Structure formats: structure tokens, C-alpha cells
Structure 1
Amino acid sequence: MSHALPQEAKPAADVARERGRGAHKGQQTRAAILDAALSLASQMGIEGLSIGALAEVTGMSKSGVFAHFGSREELQISVIREYHERFEEEVFVPAIRQPRGLPRLRALFENWVAKVATEIDSGCIYISGAVEFDDRPGPVRDALAGMVVTWHGSLVRAIRMAMAMGHLRPDTDPMQMQFEIHGLILALHHDARFLRSVGAVDRARTAFERLIQHYTLGTAVAPSGQASPSGVAAAGSAKAPLAPV
């Protein structure tokens, strides 16, 4: 009886390449699933996400989707993290390329407004998720709240830097100013998405400029980064002590 000779073992380099290709394909599949999940969450909410619904949308098996996330809860948290990463790329990263102080704070707000404007039909997961999970404790709520708190912290640091640069009054309360800026975004989202108000974006920008004028007493730094002259004495003309950023 003849016996087949044992196959030669593959070189370690070939095995590593195959594993690398497999891992890359797995990452691509996971990214595609997350992209579909974000789209689904914008229509049905985070609570509307499920392994089954996502399998149907992507044309995958439930076991295939499950293999990438393990549970519905992990899927929901992954979607929140993905949204946060995209939010950072679209809103935060371009803004930090602007000069420190008021120009950067303006850019943060303007980029935020632009993102809300593009989400009129889909909705902001930060805002819609807050409505879904405001009274539902658990890991999903914790993940969502953590992302929002992180973003608010970035705004507070930008405000403190504007104070340190002398662009805002030294008696500015950073937490209060951040609260008011966030309030403008919530009003914009409500009027643009729910009421379909055509002028909501312009009203948000106008309100922001009034807010800036309040905290600078007429010595606001213009969007170009140049100080706007004013006959009003500047209460914030002297630099405040450098705040941690």
C-alpha cells in the first residue's frame, strides 16, 4: 500500500503573511459592519441596534456579525466609540490646527455646527443617545456619557486657553461658557431637525457671536485671528494666569 508523503511545512514568513492578510480582512469586515451599524443607529437609535438587524442589513449571518462583537451590548458600545472617533476627526482635529485661543474655540464651534448641519436627516448620536439612555444605567450609557464628557472637557480646555491668551475676560467661568455653547448646539439640533427651521444654523452662529462679545466685552478676536478694535475698555485685556490645557 502506498503512503502519501507528508507535505512540507510552509515557511514561517508565508504563514505570517497569510495571518496578516486574514487579520486585515477581518479589520475591513469589522469596519464595514460598523459603518452599517452607524447608519442603522442614526435611523433607529442605538437601542435599535441588534446582531440580527445588522446581519440583515449587511447580508451576513448572525454568527458572522456575532464573531466580531460577541454581544449586542458590545456592538452598541463599539458604535458609540466609532462615532466619537469620527466626531474627533471632523470637529476636533481640524480645530486644533488653528491658533490657540479664540480662533481655536471659534473653529471648534463652527466645525460642530457644520457636523450638526450634515446630520439633520440622520441625527446626532450624542444627542439622540442621551434621550435613549438618560435614565437607563449600564455600560452603554456609561460609554456614551464618557464620550460626551471627554468632548466637553476639550471645550473647557479651549476656553481656558483663550483666557490665558487674553482673548476672554479673566473672570470667565469656563464651565458656564461651555454649558452655554452646548445649549446653542442643542437648540440648533432641535430647530433644524425637529422644526425644520431653515435659519437655525445662522441663528446658532449669531448667538455664538453674542456669547463671545459677552465674554470679551467687545474685544473679541475676529475669525481671522486678528483682534477687533473697540472703543469699549477690555476687561480681559490683561492675561489671566496660564490655565492647564
Structure 2
Amino acid sequence: MIDGRLVRGERTRLAVLDTAVSLASVEGLEGLSLARLAQTLGVSKSGLFAHWPDKQRLQLAIVEHARQQWVDQIVRPALKVPRGLRRLWALHEHRLAFYQAGTLPGGCFFAAVGPELDDRPGPVRESVAQAHDDWMDLLAKLAAQAVEQGELRPGTDAGQLAFEIQALGETVVVHAHLLRRDRSFAYSRRAVLERLRALATDPSILPEA
């Protein structure tokens, strides 16, 4: 028999983390406290302590929730596309769709908290860095698979290509949110697409730029 209290507790935990990731995408992690979350959600601060007894554990849970959100909404849909160049392109498309949909008010959790934590050693920084590394590794892995399948030219540097795709994806956040330039999504899409088509052995498997 399912314990209703456990179900409600898990529902509350997820609702808090959803709110925390959204807030952190705008305000960062350092200023985000249980008191701030309780006020935003209209719940008691004491109730949240049952889930996270200190700030560091809350921050780690927020990072993990943001990572899982990224996997669920960007990575998993892209991995349903046939392996190779089309899958690599789908990963960038789903990322842009995630940003353009306004899923997070600040655009990207990791783009917001990365600069905040890059010079602050500790478990939270390491968790954010690991999430970033995993993403870069995935981009490079998919690029390498496209080379192995003969869809990208032999000798294509998978790590370099992953770096370029990441840079063109992250730049959208700054241009769209700080500079309010709506064309940023189209520019990023075209830049990555043109780069992939230039390296492709058969550009026709990708959309036109």
C-alpha cells in the first residue's frame, strides 16, 4: 500500500526544486535560501528543513534537479533521433527549443550559476562542473559517432566541434536575455547547421541552413 504522506512529501520536494531551479536561473544559487523559497512558495520554512537540513544540501539537490530537467527535456528527446549527424543536430535543436520556450525565466540554470561558482571550490562547484563535463562529453561522443558512421568527414575533431556547438548554444542566453536580441536563436541555429553541413559527407541528411 502506498503511503500518502510519502507521496505528498515527494510532490512537495519536487515543487520546491522546480521553483528553486527557476529562481536560480535568474538570481544564482548563493542568494537562494530556504527562507526565500518558503516565501515564494507560501509554505513554512520549518517544513523545508525536513528535506534539506542545510544550505549546501539544498544547493546540491537544486543542481541535480536542474541536471535532470536538462536530461529529460533536451537529451532524451534528441537520443530518439537516429544515431549519427542527425542526433548531434537534434541535441542543439532541442536545447534552443528549451531556451526559446521560456522554460526557465533566466534562460539557463547552468549559464547563470557557472560564473557564480567557477572560483569557489567545494561540492556545489564540483557538481555544476560535472554536469557541464557530462554535457560536453555527450556532444563530443555524438560527434565522434557521426565520424565513425561516415557522416562527418574523417579527421573531424570531435572535441573542437563540441566546443563550438556549446559556445553557440550558450551565447543565445546572453543575447536573448541581456541584449534582448530575438534573432539570436536563428543565428545560433544557422551557425551550427552551416558548420555541420560543411563537415558532413552528405549535407542532404540535414535541413537547409
Deviation at 1:121, TM superposition (A): 4.0
CA-based RMSD of the aligned residues comes to 1.8
Distance 1:163 1:81 in 2: 31
Distance 2:9 2:142 in 1: 38
Give 1:175's aligned residue: 159
Deviation at 1:221, TM superposition (A): 4.5
Q: Which has the larger radius of gyration?
A: 1
Distance 1:72 1:221 in 2: 51
Distance 2:59 2:48 in 1: 13
Deviation at 1:174, TM superposition (A): 0.8
| Pair 1:63 & 2:62 matched | no
Whose helix proportion is higher, 1 or 2? 2
Task: Tell me, yes or no, if the aligned pair for 1:95 and 1:107 is still in contact at 8 Å.
Answer: yes
TM-score under structure 2 normalisation?
0.92
Distance 2:135 2:204 in 1: 23
Give runs of aligned pairs for residues 36-185 of structure 1, distance below 5 A: 36-119=19-102, 121-185=105-169
- 1:121-171 Cα offsets, whole Å, 9 max, x none, are 422111111111111111111111111111111111111111111000110
Give runs of aligned pairs for residues 198-213 of structure 1, distance below 5 A: 198-213=182-197
Tell me the matched-pair count.
207
Distance 1:92 1:146 in 2: 16
- 1:173-221 Cα offsets, whole Å, 9 max, x none, are 111100011111122222111111121111111111221133236x324
Task: Tell me, yes or no, if the aligned pair for 2:83 and 2:146 is still in contact at 8 Å.
Answer: yes
Distance 1:154 1:73 in 2: 27
State, as a whole percentage, how many aligned pairs show the same letter. Answer: 34
Distance 2:99 2:89 in 1: 15
